[in-house]
Structure 1
């Protein structure tokens, strides 16, 4: 009986397993899970490539005004903060030796003029002597020719020699006159040089500006600042404030976009305001150590509200693309290479599309070819996605951004 019971139980178990296997073979497999991917819609946007840099205002010109001649300060007419115009007198030096040189040069001019008068009189005498000698020779020669033997040949030869001598004396007198005139020119040049040096004793402002430092006082000895090796003391320091400079280190990635006259916005904090400016000049080459290009902006400061040393924020408008097709930057693979492509979702199927891109901003990328407005492109990582794969698109969170800069 026990044996029969075990066999019956075994048969029931076997039948149950067979039934389970039969049901497993007949059930269909579960459907494969379709991945969900974030997508962005290709749409028009206004793209701007702006670079924001910090800079410091500096005077348009800032120089130490030196003296060209050495002397004592007889008078100084400016102090710190004095506004001067170009040509205004800053200081007057006492230079006795130059005054003596002027008197000497003036006397030399007078002496040279007197020598010219003397030489001119000598020329007149020589002309008169030459004329009378020539007439005497002509007369005696005519008599000797018409009445042979009446006038000794010796007298004719003497008259001819005197005529030639008078001509030579006239040439010598003219040469003396020319030498006197050249001496007068040299004396005039020396007087002009002394006068110019005397003018340097009056130190004038080279441009409109403000005196920012005063080095000398009345009675100070000023050396001539005419050599780079000298330790001469300047008279004053002069800065031009009606126009200020902003020097910007533009990164190498944006250096090619810099153009003369390019508009910029300059923001200052004291008081808060934004000024419009233009690029005035740029170096045209990149510094190898910093990988930046020096670029300068001239900022008008007629009212003097800006001071050198103040900081400013400069917004460079390098490019502007209004209403161009754009996608998020992470929607395109191989940006900047020869193989740029996008993963486009059409009817739930992935299509790999080659594209070409243009202007890139921190968030958006211009599409020049390959996509159309309304296309849905997969953003983020594209690893594991392939042509023809079924996906479930889901709108990316930043798709609503309509304009980026």
Structure 2
């Protein structure tokens, strides 16, 4: 089989220069190629491709497909320039999570044994409400010191008052009065020390023995419970997680190329799979100062009101960041993108007639009209296969790629 003639450089450059937005049928392209073959035209040196070297390593090391003129005419493949879509809003994805200022992982401040649990997962609790009762040897010992200090304080106070009366009558010396005052101050300090240690341990000074409670730090919902009755726990253990779910965060991934279009306080509308007919409004409150080196994205945070509890931490969500700059993005039909060796790829025209080259691309979110945004890997003026990409993928899988014909 004779090789398919290549397209001469002037013709190819002219094709890209016109940038015609309408679809170019490959049947017409193949007719042009046959005419070029009859004229005996030869290919001029190929222009430098700025995407050269980006083709992925596919199975067998092959990253292109060649079709002869007949196969080209019968393939149904359609080539067009990528669409330029107005970006009235920037669609991004993210995950709903707790407002980290409204969630607390709660545990005891000292080692103890769980005596009783007073709440279950899902319980709504108020600030200061007891979640569990515990007993601790350390709390018991500190409380004993407190009671001892209270008794000694009573004695020291009486002794000081007696020495004061005797000193006034000239019976006792001034030194004895000062000694009584010093003892009173020591006992008062000892009492204050015991009270402070109980406070630090989270124990009430009015309780008895080693008993102490674990309270909720704010109003919220018990979303996790890891404690069991009779279990011995310590300061490193988390017994409960309490969260205020009336306000949540959604953490968005902003691609680096879109970073200049995003700023704090921009309005955002959020939708979820669970509530497809509802829109949850919010605003960007934080944009990270570093770029994820692997994903090439920047994390942005949006605060959402959730007074009715419809949103749940862990939900996947889609957000539309409102834009006012009239920016446009490159988009292709979703079927124009195929997966080869776990890479998202499209097909661009090669330098030879009937040659289609694999081009790896990075996808953005899906857009209305069955389109998907192309974040990187393709230029706006590059002809690309928009219909028949799966056919070319099937040809690639056959393994008959060395020749120019089928």
TM-score by length of 2: 0.52
Counterpart of 1:59 in structure 2 is 98
Please identify, of 181-190 and 291-300, the stretch whose mean Cα deviation from structure 2 is larger. 181-190
Residue aligning to 2:131: 90
CA distance in 2 between counterparts of 1:37 and 1:236 reads: 66
Secondary structure in 1 matching 2:244: strand
Structure 1 residues 74 and 327, CA gap change in structure 2 (3 angstroms): closer
- Report the 3-state secondary structure (helix = DSSP H, G, I; strand = E; otherwise coil) of the residue aligned with 1:218: coil
The Cα RMSD (Å) is 3.6
8 Å Cα contact 2:156/2:180 also seen in 1 = no
- 1:340 maps to none
Structure 1: give runs of 5+ residues left out of the alignment. Answer: 1-34, 41-45, 131-165, 226-231, 330-361, 363-378, 382-405
Matched with 2:289 is 284
* Structure with greater proportional helix content: 1
Partner residue in 1 for 2:184: 180
Q: Structure 1 residues 179, 313: CA separation in 2 closer, same or farther (over 3 Å shift)? A: same
Write out aligned runs for 1:6-405 (5 A).
50-61=89-100, 62-95=103-136, 97-129=138-170, 169-171=173-175, 173-194=177-198, 197=201, 198-199=203-204, 201-225=212-236, 232=237, 234-272=238-276, 273-320=278-325
Write the distance in 1 (CA, Å) between the matches of 2:199 and 2:282: 45
Would the aligned equivalents of 1:123 and 1:174 in 2 still touch at CA under 8 Å? no
Tell me how far 1:92 sits from its aligned partner. Answer: 0.8
* SS of structure 1 residue aligned to 2:108: coil
Q: Deviations over 1:27-81 (max 9, x none)?
A: xxxxxxxx996899xxxxx975532111121122454321112222211011222
What displacement does 1:115 show? 1.4
User: Which whole-Å CA distance do the structure 1 matches of 2:259 and 2:304 have between them?
Assistant: 21
Deviation digits for residues 131-175 of structure 1 (CA, Å, limit 9, x no counterpart): xxxxxxxxxxxxxxxxxxxxxxxxxxxxxxxxxxx9xx4155235
Distance 1:206 1:195, change over 3 A: closer
Instruction: Check the 8 A contact 1:113/1:184 in 2, yes or no.
Output: no
- The match for 2:32 is none
Alignment partners' CA distance in 2, 1:172 and 1:276: 75
Are the counterparts in 1 of residues 159 and 180 from structure 2 also a CA contact under 8 Å? no
Alignment CA distance shift 1:262-1:120 (3 Å): same
Give, in angstroms, the shift of residue 179 of structure 1: 4.2
Q: Cα distance 1:282–1:85, how it changes in 2: closer, same or farther (>3 A)?
A: farther
Deviations 1:270-322 (A, max 9, x none): 2212221111222233344443322111111111112222211111124345x
Summarize deviations over 1:229-285 as a string: whole Å, max 9, x none. Answer: xxx3x3223333222211112222333443332101112222212221111222233
Match of 1:137 in 2: none
CA distance change for structure 1 residues 265 and 179 in 2, over 3 Å: closer, same or farther? same
How has the CA–CA distance of structure 1 residues 125 and 215 changed in structure 2, closer, same or farther, with 3 Å as cutoff?
same
Deviations 1:103-134 (A, max 9, x none): 3312212212321331332243234329xxxx
SS class of match (1:201): strand
Q: Does the 8 Å CA contact 2:163/2:176 hold for their aligned counterparts?
A: no
Q: Is the 8 A contact 1:51 1:318 kept in 2?
A: yes
Cα distance in 1 for residues equivalent to 2:242 and 2:323: 35
Distance in 2 (alpha carbons) for counterparts of 1:327 and 1:269: 27
Cα 1:48/1:117, change in 2 over 3 Å: same
* Secondary structure in 1 matching 2:149: helix
**SS, match of residue 103 in structure 1:** helix
3-state SS in 1 of match to 2:309 = coil
The CA deviation string for residues 334-390 of structure 1, in whole angstroms up to 9 with x for no partner, is: xxxxxxxxxxxxxxxxxxxxxxxxxxxx9xxxxxxxxxxxxxxxx979xxxxxxxxx
